[in-house]
């Protein structure tokens, strides 16, 4: 194991640099969240696809199916909820039926309530509170492999014009995306881990890769906290790229300074 | 009193204290703090288990409402509640290692979940067969890389062409791994920043508060 | 027959075949290969050899935390690796503490130890003396962290309710007292184990993972967070070959091979059809199977 570069008495060895990086995240995030001017985030191309796809569903008289994930309140689910709010708004404005399958894990019980409020508020804001139907947000199951056939069943029976699958989906994502394709829906998905991205890229018409999903969620919600998060992540990506490059050069010159700097 | 515990500020205070109790001992090892941190994690694990009780109660209430109001699919809710009751009662009566509970688990639950998992193989194959088309030079390059990795994954190929292991592992260890690493970095930072938002009270949906709630 | 006058002809059919032909072909090929295996040779990857070398570092009496972070469906894919690894453990005489990461795990021990009966009988490997099953103890990250920090505060009884006091688990104060973690995972609590056990206590961790999660675990392997990785059914089959104990993995390798080759053939057919059709029709249409 590499020896850490900095140590402090009484402090866990090798964790000082990690603590400093964490403190920097806190400072940057709080700073950006407090700023009056929102950070710039480019519009993710998949958002245009969502609008076009919902329009297509409206013309065909078919419903839209949109899910926000199976997980609890994690990084992906928050993004998925923002996108769900947007899709609900568009559906409310265009008088298109929106179906939101919920469930998939034991943590999904908590998120469902937030999702129901979100969709109800979207319909109310569009001036169509009577169009909101909680029965169109069925709780399928708290188990992943019971949720999956329920979701697939909805797709087969309702034959939606568009399926938007965002948030935290795991192995069931492939099942759902492929079935959506089979029933002729425009399939817009977001991959939340490496293996999923590869499979969904094959099965979907449009895919949001990795961080495009939280970026899309932040762009749509215009929430200063979410947008600040994206900005902080971007800064840290540059820090990571810089560290990698410096480390690459250092290692090639026989120095392990970066290894020791990051060692725990 | 209950309004105090329901308030946003009280809940966020609990969140911050819990966070500090786990965060600080990670950097400053000190016996009493480690002990307290361990106790808190044990309490969290036990409390989490009680959410199953709440979930079962919620499901009974929800299904009861569906059945009373004869909403769409109400018959399935009767079926659901019956199965829920059978599994729970058989587990308590016979234990989890014998009788009806074990039979239901081995004969019903596990084959059903295995089928859903097994279907993935067919869906991945059809998706791959559909998506791997050389429509452009870039997609042709991707197709070639995919071929190499697919050929390597077939065990027979490695027996006759040992050299393919080098090519396939080069592709997965460079391009594949760099994507995984990029992902890990991004997700980790995103999760930390989400934590900052929760601690500063900017993200309160997980506490059950809506945008207009206090 | 004037093919040049066809709209798409055979090329169009090749480019837009019904996906149900793929399903049927896969089903028939895989089923036939499973019923009548030929016994084709397989290559052994460096990764599997490294996994076996890692297990070979264990000595008799070492304490291994065997974490079954898989549903029963995942076990179907990981079965060869699980059985082969546990055969190694039994032959070496290591002590196992078995924990589940999913409630379906309770169905696994009877299934697994039924398959290992010959080994457990030959080596007199008994529950309570050589291995203890503590049950479903990893419902979430907090549980993993709590158990890692203070084992006996969180686990007092085994999965059948019998006290673990007076057993070999008395030596375990925290997760750092284990000599190795042997993880079989569909992605449940593995990251939590890395965070709270490997990073905190430096316990070596060997992972047997489903195929789709292998790219993610390769990064962990390269970073030294896990010390060995066995990839899916194929890795299990290779391990069975290395320990000279053929089992369900090697039996399914023919099906594995033919399944992959048939997929490659379908991709080639689709591409030939796409190329021929678009050239013939002169249009760059998007083709795909129905």
Q: Is residue B143 part of a domain?
A: yes
Q: Is residue C262 part of a domain?
A: yes
The CATH number of residue C128's host domain is 3.40.50
Would you state the torsion angle of the CA atoms of residues C143, C147, C153, C154, taken in this order, to the nearest 10 degrees?
50
Do C256 and C246 belong to one domain?
no
Q: Does A34 touch chain B (CB under 8 A)?
A: no
Do C89 and C217 belong to one domain?
yes
Q: How far apart are CA B67 and CA B72, in angstroms?
A: 9
Each residue's pLDDT expressed in tens, for chain A with a length of 264 residues:
567 777 777 777 778 888 889 999 999 999 998 888 888 888 888 889 999 999 999 999 999 999 999 988 888 999 999 999 999 999 999 999 999 999 988 888 888 888 999 999 999 999 999 999 988 999 888 888 889 999 999 999 999 999 999 999 888 899 999 999 999 999 999 988 877 888 898 899 999 988 899 999 999 888 888 899 999 999 999 999 999 999 999 999 998 888 888 877
Query: Best interface-test mutation with A: which of C141, C189, C212, C217 has the largest number of A CBs within 10 A?
Result: C212
- How buried is residue C145: exposed, middle or buried, by Cβ count under 10 Å (0-12/13-18/19+)? buried
Q: How far apart are CA A62 and CA C140, in angstroms?
A: 39
CA distances from A50 to A90, A165, A178, B212 (A): 9, 11, 18, 27
Do B116 and B153 belong to one domain?
no
Q: Which residues contact B20 (CB under 8 A, 6 or more apart)?
A: none
- pLDDT of A166 reads 93
Do C222 and C267 belong to one domain?
no
To the nearest whole Å, the CA of A57 is away from the closest chain B CA by 23
Q: Which residues contact C283 (CB under 8 A, 6 or more apart)?
A: none
Q: How many domains does chain B have?
A: 3
Inspect the interface and report whether the beta carbons of B124 and A229 lie closer than 8 Å.
no
Give the confidence band of C3 by pLDDT, cuts at 50, 70, 90: very low
Do C241 and C178 belong to one domain?
yes
CA B151 to chain centroid, in Å, comes to: 32
Do B108 and B28 belong to one domain?
no
C17: three-class secondary structure by DSSP:
coil
Percent of chain C whose pLDDT exceeds 70:
94
Q: How far apart are CA A11 and CA A15, in angstroms?
A: 8
Q: How far apart are CA C265 and CA B169, in angstroms?
A: 22
Q: Is residue B125 part of a domain?
A: yes
Give the confidence band of B214 by pLDDT, cuts at 50, 70, 90: very low
Residues of C with CB below 8 A from A106's CB? 139
Identify the CA nearest to A65 among candidates A89, A93, A97.
Answer: A97
Do B83 and B10 belong to one domain?
yes
Do B164 and B119 belong to one domain?
no
Do B138 and B190 belong to one domain?
yes
Residue with the bigger pLDDT between B98 and A188: it is A188
Residues of C with CB below 8 A from B154's CB? 256-257, 260-261
Do C273 and C134 belong to one domain?
no
Per the structure block, which two tokens stand in for C229?
């990785």
Q: Is residue C235 part of a domain?
A: yes
Contact A18, A261 (CB under 8 A): no
Q: Does A130 touch chain B (CB under 8 A)?
A: no
Do B23 and B80 belong to one domain?
yes
Positive or negative, the Cα torsion across C188, C194, C196, C197? positive
Average pLDDT over residues C131-142: 90
Do C102 and C156 belong to one domain?
yes
Per-residue pLDDT of C250-274, as tens digits, reads 999 999 999 999 999 999 999 999 8
Average pLDDT over residues B199-212: 76
Do B89 and B108 belong to one domain?
no
Do B72 and B100 belong to one domain?
no
Q: Is residue C1 part of a domain?
A: no
Inspect the interface and report whether the beta carbons of C287 and B133 lie closer than 8 Å.
yes
- 3-state SS of chain B: helix, strand, coil percent to 5? 85, 0, 15
Contact A213, A22 (CB under 8 A): no
Q: Do β-strands A64-69 and A98-99 pair in parallel, antiparallel, or remain unpaired?
A: parallel
Q: Is residue B63 part of a domain?
A: yes
Inspect the interface and report whether the beta carbons of B44 and C142 lie closer than 8 Å.
yes
Q: Is residue C2 part of a domain?
A: no
Per-residue pLDDT of C41-88, as tens digits, reads 988 999 999 999 999 999 999 999 999 999 888 999 999 999 999 999
Q: Is residue B214 part of a domain?
A: no
Inspect the interface and report whether the beta carbons of B130 and A202 lie closer than 8 Å.
yes
Q: How far apart are CA C100 and CA C138, in angstroms?
A: 7
Inspect the interface and report whether the beta carbons of A29 and B197 lie closer than 8 Å.
yes
Q: Does C13 touch chain B (CB under 8 A)?
A: no
Inspect the interface and report whether the beta carbons of C216 and A194 lie closer than 8 Å.
yes
Would you state the torsion angle of the CA atoms of residues A197, A200, A204, A207, taken in this order, to the nearest 10 degrees?
-20
Do C77 and C178 belong to one domain?
yes
Do B138 and B188 belong to one domain?
yes
Do B191 and B152 belong to one domain?
yes
Q: Does A113 touch chain B (CB under 8 A)?
A: yes
- pLDDT of A64 reads 97
Residues of C with CB below 8 A from B175's CB? none
Q: Is residue C213 part of a domain?
A: yes
Mean pLDDT is lowest, of A88-102, B58-72, B153-167, C4-18, for C4-18
Per the structure block, which two tokens stand in for A102?
């919920």
Q: Is residue C67 part of a domain?
A: yes
Q: Is residue B103 part of a domain?
A: yes
Inspect the interface and report whether the beta carbons of A145 and C73 lie closer than 8 Å.
yes
Q: Is residue C40 part of a domain?
A: no
Give the confidence band of C283 by pLDDT, cuts at 50, 70, 90: low
Contact A51, A90 (CB under 8 A): yes
Identify the CA nearest to B51 among candidates A105, C175, A131, A190.
Answer: A105
Q: Sheet of A162-168: strands edge to edge?
A: A98-99, A64-69, A162-168, A186-190, A206-208
Do C86 and C129 belong to one domain?
yes
- pLDDT of A11 reads 76
Do C259 and C279 belong to one domain?
yes
> What residues 41-100 of chain A have any CB closer than 8 A to a CB of chain B?
72-75, 78, 81
Domain final residue pick, B131, B155, B190: B131
DSSP conformational letter for B205: G
Which of A10, A15, A233 faces B189 most closely, judged by CB atoms? A233
Query: Best interface-test mutation with A: which of B15, B29, B196, B198 has the largest number of A CBs within 10 A?
Result: B196
Do B67 and B101 belong to one domain?
no
- How buried is residue A24: exposed, middle or buried, by Cβ count under 10 Å (0-12/13-18/19+)? middle
Residues of A with CB below 8 A from C187's CB? 170
Q: Does C116 touch chain B (CB under 8 A)?
A: no
Q: Is residue B213 part of a domain?
A: no
Query: Best interface-test mutation with A: which of B193, B202, B210, B213 has the largest number of A CBs within 10 A?
Result: B193
Domain final residue pick, B86, B112, B131: B131
To the nearest whole Å, the CA of C212 is away from the closest chain A CA by 5
To the nearest whole Å, the CA of A54 is away from the closest chain B CA by 24
- pLDDT of B114 reads 87
Mean pLDDT is lowest, of A159-168, A189-198, C90-99, C280-289, for C280-289
Q: Is residue B14 part of a domain?
A: yes
A71: three-class secondary structure by DSSP:
coil
Residues of B with CB below 8 A from C222's CB? 173, 177
Do B82 and B17 belong to one domain?
yes
The DSSP-derived string for C127-193 is BTTTEEEEEE--SSHHHHHHHHH-HHHH--B-TTS-B-TTSGGGG-SSGGG-SEEEEEESSSSHHHH
- pLDDT of C287 reads 54
Which of B62, B73, B124 faces A199 most closely, judged by CB atoms? B124
Domain of residue B147, residue span: 134-208
Q: Is residue C41 part of a domain?
A: no
Q: Which chains pack against C, by 3+ Cβ pairs within 8 A?
A: A, B
Query: Best interface-test mutation with B: which of A111, A134, A174 has the largest number of B CBs within 10 A?
Result: A174
pLDDT value at B30 more than 90: no
Do C271 and C258 belong to one domain?
yes
Do C102 and C168 belong to one domain?
yes
Residues of B with CB below 8 A from A178's CB? 123, 126-127
Q: At what angle do helices C253-281 and C232-242 cross, to 10 degrees?
A: 140
Q: How far apart are CA C78 and CA C72, in angstroms?
A: 10
Chain B residue with CA closest to C153: the answer is B42
Residues of B with CB below 8 A from A237's CB? 185-186, 189
Domain final residue pick, B109, B131, B153: B131
- pLDDT of A160 reads 96
Q: How many domains does chain C have?
A: 2
Q: Give the side-chain half-sphere CA count within 13 A for B160.
A: 7
Q: Is residue B9 part of a domain?
A: yes
Q: Does A29 touch chain B (CB under 8 A)?
A: yes
Domain of residue C27, residue span: 10-33+252-290
Predicted TM-score of the model (pTM): 0.87
Q: How far apart are CA A155 and CA A178, in angstroms?
A: 11
- pLDDT of B57 reads 86
Identify the CA nearest to A146 among candidates B83, B116, B85.
Answer: B116
Q: Does B123 touch chain A (CB under 8 A)?
A: yes
Do C56 and C24 belong to one domain?
no
Per-residue pLDDT of C197-236, as tens digits, reads 999 899 999 999 998 889 889 989 998 999 999 999 999 9
């Amino acid at each position: 194991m590499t020896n850490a570069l900095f140590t402090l008495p009484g402090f866990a060895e090798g964790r000082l640099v990690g603590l400093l990086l964490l403190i920097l995240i806190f400072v940057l995030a709080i700073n950006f969240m407090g700023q009056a001017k929102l950070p710039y985030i480019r519009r993710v191309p998949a958002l245009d696809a969502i609008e076009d796809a919902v329009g297509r569903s409206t013309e065909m008289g078919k419903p839209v199916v949109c899910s926000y994930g199976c997980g609890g309140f994690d990084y992906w689910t928050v993004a998925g909820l923002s996108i769900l709010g947007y899709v609900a708004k568009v559906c409310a404005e265009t008088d298109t039926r929106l179906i939101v399958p919920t469930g998939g894990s034991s943590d999904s019980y908590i998120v469902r309530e937030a999702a129901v409020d979100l969709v109800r508020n979207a319909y109310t804001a569009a001036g169509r509170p009577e169009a909101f139907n909680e029965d169109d947000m069925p709780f399928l199951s708290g188990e992943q492999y019971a949720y999956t056939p329920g979701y697939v069943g909805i797709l087969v029976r309702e034959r939606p014009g568009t399926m938007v699958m965002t948030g935290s989906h795991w192995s069931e994502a492939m099942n759902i995306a492929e079935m959506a394709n089979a029933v002729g829906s425009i399939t817009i998905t977001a991959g939340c881990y490496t293996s999923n991205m590869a499979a969904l890229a094959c099965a979907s018409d449009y895919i949001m890769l990795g961080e495009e999903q939280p970026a899309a969620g932040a762009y749509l919600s215009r929430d200063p906290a979410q947008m600040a998060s994206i900005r902080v992540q971007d800064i840290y990506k540059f820090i990571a790229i810089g560290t990698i490059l410096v480390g690459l050069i250092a290692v090639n010159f026989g120095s392990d300074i970066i290894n020791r700097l990051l060692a725990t | 009193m209950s309004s105090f515990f329901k308030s946003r500020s009280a809940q966020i205070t609990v969140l911050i204290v819990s966070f500090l109790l786990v965060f600080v001992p990670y950097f400053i090892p000190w016996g009493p703090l480690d002990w307290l941190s361990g106790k808190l994690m044990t309490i969290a694990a036990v409390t989490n288990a009680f959410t199953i009780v709440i979930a079962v109660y919620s499901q009974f209430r929800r299904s009861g409402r569906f059945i009373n109001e004869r909403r769409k699919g109400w018959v399935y809710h009767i079926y659901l509640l019956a199965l829920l009751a059978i599994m729970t009662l058989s587990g308590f009566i016979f234990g989890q290692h014998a009788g009806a509970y074990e039979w239901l688990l081995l004969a019903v639950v596990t084959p059903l979940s295995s089928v859903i998992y097994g279907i993935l193989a067919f869906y991945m194959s059809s998706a791959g067969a559909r998506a791997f088309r050389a429509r452009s030079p870039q997609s042709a390059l991707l197709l070639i890389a995919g071929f190499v990795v697919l050929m390597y994954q077939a065990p027979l190929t490695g027996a006759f062409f040992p050299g393919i292991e080098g090519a396939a592992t080069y592709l997965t260890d460079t391009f594949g791994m760099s994507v995984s690493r990029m992902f890990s970095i991004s997700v980790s930072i995103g999760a930390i920043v989400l934590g900052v938002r929760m601690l500063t009270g900017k993200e309160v949906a997980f506490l059950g508060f809506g945008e207009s709630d206090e | 027959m004037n093919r040049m006058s066809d709209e798409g002809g055979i090329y169009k059919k090749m480019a837009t075949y019904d996906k149900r032909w793929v399903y049927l072909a896969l089903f028939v090929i895989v089923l036939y290969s499973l019923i009548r295996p030929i016994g084709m040779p397989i290559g052994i990857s460096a990764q599997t050899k490294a996994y076996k070398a890692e297990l070979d570092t264990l000595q008799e009496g070492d304490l291994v935390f065997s974490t079954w972070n898989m549903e029963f469906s995942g076990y179907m894919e990981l079965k060869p690796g699980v059985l082969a690894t546990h055969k190694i453990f039994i032959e070496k005489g290591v002590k196992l503490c078995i924990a589940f990461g999913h409630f379906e795990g309770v169905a696994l021990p009877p299934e697994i130890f039924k398959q290992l009966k010959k080994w457990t009988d030959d080596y007199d490997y008994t529950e309570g003396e050589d291995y203890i099953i503590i049950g479903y103890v990893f419902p979430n990250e907090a549980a993993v962290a709590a158990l890692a920090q203070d084992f006996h505060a969180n686990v007092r009884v085994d999965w059948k309710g019998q006290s673990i006091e007076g057993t070999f688990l008395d030596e375990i104060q925290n997760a750092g007292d284990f000599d190795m973690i042997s993880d079989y995972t569909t992605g449940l609590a593995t990251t939590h184990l890395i965070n709270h056990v490997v990073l905190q206590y430096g316990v070596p961790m060997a992972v047997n993972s489903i195929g789709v999660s292998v790219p993610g675990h390769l990064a962990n392997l390269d970073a030294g967070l896990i010390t060995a990785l066995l990839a899916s059914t194929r890795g299990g089959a290779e391990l069975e070959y290395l320990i000279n104990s053929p089992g369900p993995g090697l039996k399914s390798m023919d099906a594995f091979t033919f399944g992959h080759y048939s997929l490659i053939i379908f991709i080639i057919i689709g591409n030939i059809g796409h190329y021929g059709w678009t050239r013939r029709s002169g249009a760059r249409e998007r083709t795909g199977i129905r």
